[in-house]
Structure 1
Amino acid sequence: MTRRRSGDAPAMPSLFDAAALPAPCAAADSTGQLQPALAPAEVQALANALHQRFGGRLRLGTSSWSFPGWHGLVWGRAYGRPTLARRGLTAYHQHPLLRTVSLDRAFYRPLQAATYAGLAEQVPADFRFVVKAPALVTDATLREAATGKALHANPAFLDPQRSVAEVLQPALQGLGPALGVLVFQLSPLPVDWLRDEARLHGALDALWQAVMPALPIGDHRPLVALEVRDAELMTPALAQLLRRHGVRWCAGLHDRMPTMTEQLPMLRAMWPGPLVCRWNLQKGQRYAQAKDAWAPFNRLQAPDEATREALARVIAGTLAAGETAWVTINNKAEGSAPLSVLALAQAVLRQSDAA
């Protein structure tokens, strides 16, 4: 176990501390498989207890996976980022608590069916992906690639036909039943959209009218969810619109958004139904700030117990009602997504025991 230095933020009791000593970067073996970290018996027992109580209805995971700093937490050997990006899921899925992953890279450009298929072949049949729809259709503004500077209005924003043809269909073709949730995360909206609720709701209504009928019918029908970055969009009218189409509210826990507790009215307005949550960024942080301060993401830098306990209560209540819960966590939530998953899993079991 690594020793905490004087002045470090207190870490959660980590059943897996990352390896203390660096090691040379390894490559995948001849079959393309990466070596997973050996999960301590306590972690396997926790995963077994959750499965026995909830079956397969709890899916916890991380946002992306190609982080060399997870050596000792998820990876059994030291791998470089390119190797992890290409083949990391072959080891990731063997962690007993990681049953989904958020495919964040899809946000930056639409992925082809072959790319999705290459990821699906790395995981077992019961693994599921959370896919972010690309900014092509979720950002009202076209931006300069290098800086993110706003250029002009995006004519493809919430375009129904492009959302089906360039977003949904490639994901369905490539992932098949492994597509668990498709999240449309709206980037912060310009003022003209924020001030015109009827315009926005009309565009979303047209989007869902195209997307929802294009989903497969049956046990492998994926969820579709909406996540926003503007708190003023959280209205009863939006909840009613989403509920009418069978789209879930994605609780986005982010510096720009209200707390989990403050988002409960949206969830209650759409109850019953599955929970979808993406725990992205701690209050008072910026992505670049957290990345610089918290890399290599191998320990909890700033445990956020209030958010974790509030989220655990919602998860436990959702599961107790027989619904499913999908939660993915970013490194920028507390400093290390795998350790946040571990701490949240412990909290869910504790909340369930207390109910």
Structure 2
Amino acid sequence: MQNSLFPDSGPGAPPVVEAAVPDPALRSLAGVLPAQLRFGTSSWNYPGWAGLVWKRGYPDALLSRHGLPAYAQHPLFCTVGLDRSFYRPLSAAQFAAYAAQVPADFRFVVKAPNRVTDALLRDESGRGRQPNPDFLAAGPAVRDFVEPALAGLGDKLGALVFQISPLPPAWLARIPELVGRLHAMLAAIPALRGAAPDGVVAVEVRDPQWLVPAFTQALRDGGATYCMGLHAKMPRITEQLPILRALWPGPLVCRWNLNPLHGAFGYEQARRQYAPYDRLQDPDPDTRAALARVIAGTVGAGQNAFVTLSNKSEGSAPLSVRALAEAVRDQLR
């Protein structure tokens, strides 16, 4: 029965997920964007993208396991967020299996495990139980994340993102101490450029209290950049730009995660409201226009840009990518 549903699969072969036939206008749009610009989404296992990314509807589990090659055929998708690594470290072999499924010019944006980016150890419900001894610790960061990602992805590595989870309220007064811990961790990370010429380490935060000069200095000293996180927990783009200016020249790493309409704790609300993610429900033209200017300025100066968008940003990540790509094209004219 399974093979009858997937006619391109031979006996014993894994099922094939077929890519949607792209609109010729998408190919034309992709053709005028700079090679340094890589758009993508924060994951790829969404059945509701039928007709946008997939030729037809496929189950979530099938897309998760076998959808990446079809995803990478989308004209505008030259990167993707690997969020799976946030929940459990991946091995070099697992990273290599992902790399084998995409074209040579594709780059991955990979999240560090929460065992090094969350201040607390949590139970199955997500409730913090006790302080995490590996929070921003150099050894686990290098051993369990940087080294296997570099070994497995090689030159398909784009950005290694340390997304620091929201701090417990009592910890917000300890920012100077935590910046020192971050500084030491970044200093221990080996250079990426030999094996991954486009590779960059980026740090994203979910508390605006991190955005102090010492934080920027830690990034600069560690050869890292700031991951601009567009999330309701953080200030809007214009208030985050001073950090990028202080680190200029350098690449842009941006993750557009959540529409501010839903508030700082509205992720689950957006997930439910926007499903099945097949249309733009809450367009955010102001954020899109501001981000397009930042992207155009970055790639116009010859720097790389890795930009991933979530379904929770406007309702449908593929359609958000298209709208943002059009805005960047117009900025570059």
TM over 0.5: yes
Aligned counterpart, 2:208: 231
Q: CA deviation at 1:235?
A: 1.4
**Residue identity matched to 1:47:** A
2:279 and 2:128 map into 1 onto residues whose CA distance is 35
Q: CA deviation at 1:217?
A: 2.2
Q: Please point out which of 166, 169, 178 is paired with 1:191.
A: 169
1:218 and 1:88, CA in 2 relative to 1: closer, same or farther beyond 3 A?
Answer: closer
1:36 and 1:185, CA in 2 relative to 1: closer, same or farther beyond 3 A?
Answer: same
Please say if 1:91 is aligned against 2:64: no
1:294 and 1:201 map into 2 onto residues whose CA distance is 36
Q: CA deviation at 1:119?
A: 1.1
Could you list the per-position Cα deviations for residues 301-324 of structure 1 after superposition, in whole angstroms to 9, with x for gaps in the alignment?
100000000000100111111111
1:204 and 1:221 map into 2 onto residues whose CA distance is 22
8 Å contact from structure 2 (residues 296, 332) kept in 1: yes
1:275 and 1:108 map into 2 onto residues whose CA distance is 25
Q: CA deviation at 1:216?
A: 4.6
Could you list the per-position Cα deviations for residues 185-234 of structure 1 after superposition, in whole angstroms to 9, with x for gaps in the alignment?
000012343212331121111101111x2535266251000000001211
1:219 and 1:234, CA in 2 relative to 1: closer, same or farther beyond 3 A?
Answer: same
1:162 and 1:306, CA in 2 relative to 1: closer, same or farther beyond 3 A?
Answer: same
Aligned counterpart, 1:40: 23
**Residue identity matched to 1:185:** Q
Q: CA deviation at 1:174?
A: 1.6
Q: Please point out which of 128, 140, 144 is paired with 2:107.
A: 128
8 Å contact from structure 1 (residues 193, 199) kept in 2: no
**Residue identity matched to 1:298:** D
8 Å contact from structure 2 (residues 150, 196) kept in 1: no
Q: Please point out which of 265, 273, 298 is paired with 2:278.
A: 298
1:310 and 1:206, CA in 2 relative to 1: closer, same or farther beyond 3 A?
Answer: same
Q: CA deviation at 1:80?
A: 0.8
Aligned counterpart, 1:62: 41
For residues 263-274 of structure 1, the aligned pairs below 5 Å read 263-274=240-251
1:123 and 1:236, CA in 2 relative to 1: closer, same or farther beyond 3 A?
Answer: same
For residues 1-355 of structure 1, the aligned pairs below 5 Å read 29-30=9-10, 32=14, 33-50=16-33, 54=34, 56-145=35-124, 147-211=125-189, 213-217=190-194, 220=197, 222-285=199-262, 286-353=266-333
Task: Give me the identity figure in percent.
Answer: 54
Q: CA deviation at 1:236?
A: 1.9
1:28 and 1:161 map into 2 onto residues whose CA distance is 45
Q: CA deviation at 1:27?
A: 8.1
Q: TM-score, normalised by structure 2?
A: 0.93
1:150 and 1:281, CA in 2 relative to 1: closer, same or farther beyond 3 A?
Answer: same
Q: CA deviation at 1:122?
A: 0.9
8 Å contact from structure 2 (residues 175, 209) kept in 1: no
1:299 and 1:28, CA in 2 relative to 1: closer, same or farther beyond 3 A?
Answer: farther
8 Å contact from structure 1 (residues 25, 78) kept in 2: no
Q: CA deviation at 1:352?
A: 1.3
For structure 1, which runs of at least 5 residues remain unmatched after alignment? Answer: 1-23
8 Å contact from structure 2 (residues 183, 221) kept in 1: no
- SS for the counterpart of 2:330 is helix
Q: CA deviation at 1:36?
A: 0.5
Q: CA deviation at 1:338?
A: 0.4
Aligned counterpart, 1:8: none
- SS for the counterpart of 2:80 is strand
Q: TM-score, normalised by structure 1?
A: 0.88
- SS for the counterpart of 1:250 is strand
2:178 and 2:231 map into 1 onto residues whose CA distance is 22
2:18 and 2:282 map into 1 onto residues whose CA distance is 29
1:261 and 1:27 map into 2 onto residues whose CA distance is 50
Q: CA deviation at 1:284?
A: 3.0
8 Å contact from structure 2 (residues 17, 67) kept in 1: yes
8 Å contact from structure 1 (residues 69, 296) kept in 2: yes
8 Å contact from structure 1 (residues 57, 325) kept in 2: yes
2:258 and 2:249 map into 1 onto residues whose CA distance is 27
- SS for the counterpart of 2:28 is helix
1:255 and 1:60 map into 2 onto residues whose CA distance is 21
